[in-house]
Structure 1
Amino acid sequence: MDDIEDLVVGAGAPPGFRLPLSSVGVNLKKKRSDKFYQTQDSPSPKIPGTQTIYIKTFGCSHNQSDSEYMAGQLSAFGYSLSDNPQEADLWLINTCTVKSPSQSAMDTLIAKCKIAKKPLVVAGCVPQGSRDLKELEGVSIVGVQQIDRVVEVVEETLKGHEVRLLNRKTLPALDLPKVRRNKFVEILPINVGCLGACTYCKTKHARGHLGSYTIDSLVGRVKSVIADGVKEIWLSSEDTGAYGRDIGVNLPTLLNSIVSELPPDASTMLRIGMTNPPFILEHLKEIAEVLCHPCVYSFLHVPVQSGSDAVLSAMNREYTESEFRTVVDTLIELVPGMQIATDIICGFPGETNEDFAQTVSLIKKYNFPQVHISQFYPRPGTPAARMKKVPSAVVKKRSRELTSVFEAFTPYNGMEGRIERIWITEVAADGIHLVGHTKGYVQVLVVAPESMLGVSAIVKITSVGRWSVFGEVMETINHKNHKSASRKDSGEDIFSPCSNACESYECTREPEPCACCGPESCLGQTNLEEESAASRNSMFPEDLNNRYLIGWLLRKRKNHANKRVEGEIASGSKRKQEWTQGSIGEWSVVDKALLGGMLTSFFAIMALLILLGMRSLSSN
């Protein structure tokens, strides 16, 4: 096996660096709009830099960002990118080591690649944390902190060399070329690694100790992606709350610096990534203040893993169940409309029935809208792998029980009829609906043209489901430069910076004066909803049907169709639905009979009234 450092010695410029990155533009030719990566026609594979690359990503959003950076560099150097492995000249697999199923899927894909006799590069946490795996024999590897050299690794692999680049160095630059999976969403890694030492975690072996990007570099990246038209920025890391402790700063300082650069009309939103309880405990009020900001989603992912202090201690999670409750209670109290997601591991070694019951009790107390439930998987080389395991049948039973408890929640009941501002960023799996999110990051499905992607809109929630809600677009929000001096000259109100928007303005029936915060962000939300209910009937004539039986029947049929669509979207179905907004859907015999009876009665009454009128006239 050759090492890449030896391969390029004495050869002048490394093969992957024929041109400076800044001088190469990414100009991809679209093949299909719904593809992950866009493709180009590929010339002869014998010419370096002209081959087609298939990229497959497993794992978290940080891994997704790494893949987007690697795709960007390969595209910048002329490589085509395809989501069809058969037409590719080389496969690049970005791996995840968190769970056994993810690594098993990686093993299967590697085996398929070898059978297809395709050159292969494996990236991500698996090779970085377990470089001596049998499955990785004869395979080129690029480490998690060497993604900025992926072009070198690919070129040498295509020449027939096996190369490995795993030694850690400084963090990859944030301004590398990037091909985003969703052009409206920037996944921004703020740090790598963590300060924890959880007994079950293999990721620490791969990502290592905490390494934070500087505030200046992150703010610079934010400015750049906003200029590119990005509408959501996701801060990502193995533990967002630990940010900056290695360089003498903290998360609130970073968040305030980023928020100050967001457009004051809230056309670009910030989503804060997963944070473990120990570090956010120190900054709860500061974090809550940022989450209240109109340009920041009121949503946070805070893993608890177990409701039992005994299990948390065995996991070495460095907090108690009571401290987790403090985090949740404080955020719910201080942040209007706060939504919190959490994680649970079922069947951790030593977990008793009583421990599990405490976990169930915790989940029931808060009715979390999102709970990621996993069975315990022993990861090789971790302390937990050597602990006495809970029988697999018991683990599965507990997982099913907790899943049943969670799926019985109805977190979005009460939202029907509300007026919300949403940010629309993607097409749903059914290919019909667009997906938007409220400030609380509730998923809203709307029927609208794809031209509304990247747009913010005011919607009326028409029905709710288990995993999302359905809405009707009332009007879109036109984003303007509210700092323009010309508005002042024209006598119009000038908006203050976004951070003070909700303190400086009252929401009115017109969304534009409140474009900075949206109806759901303002203190006058209840008044807005009450006023809208009375004032918007002229805009929506169908609401007049609410007092009539036919209107009721139509709404019931529509809600039924919504639930069916939501179920198919939640299950990942990509089958097109014969459904459009406002349609009646499939009518049962009872429905047809009921409607027919009502129409018959209506015409009979009308005929009787006409007959009585004619008799009255003839008698006169």
Structure 2
Amino acid sequence: MEDIEDLLVGSTGGAPPGFRLPVTAVGLKPKKTKNKPLLNKNNTLAPNIPGTQTIYIKTFGCSHNQSDSEYMAGQLSAFGYSLSDNPDEADLWLINTCTVKSPSQSAMDTLITKGKNAKKPLVVAGCVPQGSRDLKELEGVSVVGVQQIDRVVEVVEETLKGHEVRLLTRKTLPALDLPKVRKNEFVEILPINVGCLGACTYCKTKHARGHLGSYIVDSLVGRVRTVIADGVKEIWLSSEDTGAYGRDIGVNLPILLKAIVAELPPDASTMLRIGMTNPPFILEHLKEIADVLHHPCVYSFLHVPVQSGSDAVLTAMNREYTVSEFRTVVDTLTELVPGMQIATDIICGFPGETDEDFAQTIGLINKYKFPQVHISQFYPRPGTPAAKMKKVPSTIVKKRSRELTSVFEAFTPYNGMEGRVERIWITDIATDGVHLVGHTKGYVQVLVVAPESMLGTSAIVKITSVGRWSVFGEVIETIQDVNYKKTSSTRSSSENKCSPCSDPCNACASSRVQETCACGPEGCGGTTLEESAVSTNAIPQEDRSSRNLIGWLLRKRKNNVVQKMESEVSSGFKKKLEWVGESKGSWNVVDRVLLGGILVSFLTILTLLIHHGFRTLSN
């Protein structure tokens, strides 16, 4: 079956992102073997009105896939479709697939078979159909490629009509400002590029995502501004290789990170998490990356896959770095960023891996005792060079995987945290339904017992106990967000943004205790939060006299109602703002003068209007 091309009468560029083409503009191939009317969950004739059906979305794979699903859900919801977590009550299933490992693709196969048996219309998206479009499992279902997610509404509509459609070819990236329904309303997964520059011999994702394609800095910064305004508290940068960002458009990762950090609120109410980056490209910018990771608005956490502790295996994998270079990355970031946490990946049993190679991997993991290690057995992926290499016996692969897992699980990375006071950002509910999930600056998971109303907030906690995978904390105090707005067009952006170039943030970034300050107050030096947000008494007397009375009174009243509260905890956390006066229940002098000024101004304007009216009539 041929792919549907982006055809639009009178246009060579296809439809704008998110624009639903008319049916006549899309090449469709109706199913020849099935002309039965669609039935809904009640076994009655489904309505033909687009946007009235219910969609079930299942996502496999990485955070990039999750973001794609959120974009597709947003577009479907915007066109009126209902979304459900219950597959049985849905009129159509949308399955977003992952091709990294055999188990995830097997799970996809099982779900597709289940959907077919249940007579559900199916749309399969993601890396599997993009990288392996001729799979037998994809026969009889509609598919949408990784760069065609902005046209998912078309595919769903035609599939519900009984058509089998395919959208797999595209030369431009989907827009970032499409509607989105986030799985977690407080977390924005922001794809910064698709594809990569590597050619790992075991990787199937490159077949699906293709060569590197980066979004421009302005588009990404604009998206950051939008999601912060929406109330997002964590922004995850996602891609197949974050470190390679921008090499196709003449920029690099540090340029992007500095631009994004400049948009983050100075009270650190929204945090940035940098995504997975392979060693080759980050090596060129280690100090600049460390400066960003040191910033109070950025988690001191990075995912750097090593895959093996043996140079011989890395060469066979075509990973384009050595173990020594990986050590340089880890050592440099650990030295320059206090509290730095690094996660890594290991593949056990890669073709040709000897006992000595595996011993070197064990030694590397033992040396650094990483708090997170993602361990997987080698899975030969069809069409990759590694699939043709001589395999290590499966019994040995499983044995090595168990041995490495045993070594890793013996680590106690969070010992010593008990009793410490930390700032955390709370964004989720734990699987036990009792605890809320927060993270420290180093992205250590902290579980706290607190009401759900604390989701999306930041808090000061005391660590009460530690476990193998997380720590437990007791909330001491909730940190209230401060709304920062530009007060004039001439005001410096460094007063409103958490920029590494602004003095307050630089002072904070060089502090050895990042959690105790968030870009501005007494602990950081320079301009305080109160001064940055309200500019207390910042207007000279002679300047006031040149302004109108009401404007001066408004500023005066704003200054009078801002008061500082006591220090938060003994470790020196910054002071907070509390707006008082609104709840006093009484009118102070400034209130009365303000009201009087407004009345006088109103009467003056009214008098002038009446006077002008009489003059007009007399003329």
Match of 1:421 among 403, 420, 423: 423
Q: How far, CA to CA, are the matches of 1:512 and 1:298 in structure 2?
A: 11
Q: 1:388 to 1:244 in 2, by over 3 A?
A: same
The more displaced of 215-224 and 475-484 is: 475-484
Partner of 1:267 in structure 2?
A: 269
Write the deviation string for residues 578-617 of structure 1: whole angstroms up to 9, x where unpaired.
xxxxxxxxxxxxxxxxxxxxxxxxxxxxxxxxxxxxxxxx
Q: How far, CA to CA, are the matches of 2:499 and 2:8 in structure 1?
A: 51
Q: 1:479 offset after TM fit, Å?
A: 1.8
Question: Which consecutive unaligned segments of at least 5 residues does structure 1 have?
Answer: 21-41, 487-493, 523-527, 534-620
Q: 1:59 to 1:520 in 2, by over 3 A?
A: farther
Write the deviation string for residues 124-144 of structure 1: whole angstroms up to 9, x where unpaired.
000000000010111110000
SS in 2 for 1:98: coil
Structural RMSD (CA)? 3.1
Q: How far, CA to CA, are the matches of 2:509 and 2:333 in structure 1?
A: 24
Partner of 1:461 in structure 2?
A: 463
Q: How far, CA to CA, are the matches of 1:400 and 1:512 in structure 2?
A: 37
Segments of 4+ in structure 1 off by > 3 A? 1-10, 16-20, 42-45, 481-486, 494-508, 511-522, 528-533
Q: 1:184 to 1:43 in 2, by over 3 A?
A: farther
Partner of 2:550 in structure 1?
A: none
| Contact 1:294-1:501 at 8 Å conserved across structures | no
Q: 1:7 offset after TM fit, Å?
A: 10
Calculate the TM-score normalised by the size of structure 2: 0.76
| Contact 1:378-1:385 at 8 Å conserved across structures | yes
Partner of 2:400 in structure 1?
A: 398
Partner of 2:213 in structure 1?
A: 211
Bigger helix fraction: 1
Amino acid at match of 1:420: E
Match of 1:136 among 130, 135, 138: 138
Partner of 2:546 in structure 1?
A: none
Amino acid at match of 1:189: P
Amino acid at match of 2:356: E
SS in 2 for 1:221: helix
Amino acid at match of 2:120: K
Write the deviation string for residues 215-260 of structure 1: whole angstroms up to 9, x where unpaired.
0000000000000000000000000000000000000000000000
Q: 1:521 to 1:438 in 2, by over 3 A?
A: farther
Q: 1:379 to 1:517 in 2, by over 3 A?
A: farther
Q: How far, CA to CA, are the matches of 1:154 and 1:125 in structure 2?
A: 18
How does 1:443-462 map onto structure 2 within 5 Å?
Answer: 443-462=445-464
Partner of 2:359 in structure 1?
A: 357
Q: 1:521 to 1:354 in 2, by over 3 A?
A: farther
Write the deviation string for residues 271-310 of structure 1: whole angstroms up to 9, x where unpaired.
0000000000000000000000000000000000000000
Pairing 1:166–2:165 present: no
Q: 1:519 to 1:2 in 2, by over 3 A?
A: farther
Write the deviation string for residues 302-348 of structure 1: whole angstroms up to 9, x where unpaired.
00000000000000000000000000000000001000000000000
SS in 2 for 1:314: helix
Match of 1:247 among 246, 249, 262: 249
Match of 2:414 among 412, 417, 424: 412
Pairing 1:47–2:49 present: yes
Q: 1:459 to 1:336 in 2, by over 3 A?
A: same
Q: 1:9 to 1:119 in 2, by over 3 A?
A: farther
Write the deviation string for residues 445-491 of structure 1: whole angstroms up to 9, x where unpaired.
000000000000000000000000000000011122467779xxxxx
Match of 1:185 among 179, 187, 196: 187
How does 1:23-102 map onto structure 2 within 5 Å?
Answer: 45-102=47-104
Q: 1:378 offset after TM fit, Å?
A: 0.1
Q: 1:8 to 1:259 in 2, by over 3 A?
A: closer
| Contact 2:201-2:386 at 8 Å conserved across structures | yes
Q: How far, CA to CA, are the matches of 1:337 and 1:8 in structure 2?
A: 54
Q: 1:516 offset after TM fit, Å?
A: 3.7
Amino acid at match of 1:265: D
Q: 1:48 offset after TM fit, Å?
A: 1.5
SS in 1 for 2:283: helix
Q: 1:366 offset after TM fit, Å?
A: 0.3
Amino acid at match of 1:156: E
Partner of 2:318 in structure 1?
A: 316
Write the deviation string for residues 553-586 of structure 1: whole angstroms up to 9, x where unpaired.
xxxxxxxxxxxxxxxxxxxxxxxxxxxxxxxxxx
Q: 1:79 to 1:7 in 2, by over 3 A?
A: farther
Q: 1:157 to 1:277 in 2, by over 3 A?
A: same
Partner of 1:599 in structure 2?
A: none
Amino acid at match of 1:470: F
Partner of 1:147 in structure 2?
A: 149
The total of aligned residue pairs comes to: 496
| Contact 2:441-2:515 at 8 Å conserved across structures | no
Q: 1:165 to 1:507 in 2, by over 3 A?
A: closer
SS in 2 for 1:261: coil
How does 1:229-308 map onto structure 2 within 5 Å?
Answer: 229-308=231-310
Partner of 1:578 in structure 2?
A: none
Match of 1:121 among 95, 120, 123: 123
SS in 2 for 1:235: strand
| Contact 2:95-2:124 at 8 Å conserved across structures | yes
Q: 1:364 to 1:117 in 2, by over 3 A?
A: same
Q: 1:214 to 1:304 in 2, by over 3 A?
A: same
Amino acid at match of 1:80: S
Match of 1:381 among 372, 383, 404: 383
Partner of 1:564 in structure 2?
A: none
Question: Which consecutive unaligned segments of at least 5 residues does structure 2 have?
Answer: 23-43, 489-494, 526-566, 573-619
Write the deviation string for residues 514-573 of structure 1: whole angstroms up to 9, x where unpaired.
454899999xxxxx999559xxxxxxxxxxxxxxxxxxxxxxxxxxxxxxxxxxxxxxxx
| Contact 1:507-1:513 at 8 Å conserved across structures | no
| Contact 2:195-2:209 at 8 Å conserved across structures | yes
| Contact 2:258-2:499 at 8 Å conserved across structures | no
Amino acid at match of 2:219: S
Q: 1:502 offset after TM fit, Å?
A: 5.8
Amino acid at match of 2:438: G
Partner of 1:224 in structure 2?
A: 226
Write the deviation string for residues 172-224 of structure 1: whole angstroms up to 9, x where unpaired.
00000000000000000000000000000000000000000000000000000
Partner of 1:199 in structure 2?
A: 201
Q: 1:504 to 1:279 in 2, by over 3 A?
A: closer
| Contact 1:244-1:250 at 8 Å conserved across structures | yes
Q: How far, CA to CA, are the matches of 1:266 and 1:233 in structure 2?
A: 12
Partner of 1:436 in structure 2?
A: 438
Q: 1:293 to 1:49 in 2, by over 3 A?
A: same
Partner of 1:567 in structure 2?
A: none
SS in 2 for 1:121: strand
Calculate the TM-score normalised by the size of structure 1: 0.76
Amino acid at match of 2:124: V
Identity of aligned residues (%): 85
Q: How far, CA to CA, are the matches of 2:371 and 2:172 in structure 1?
A: 38
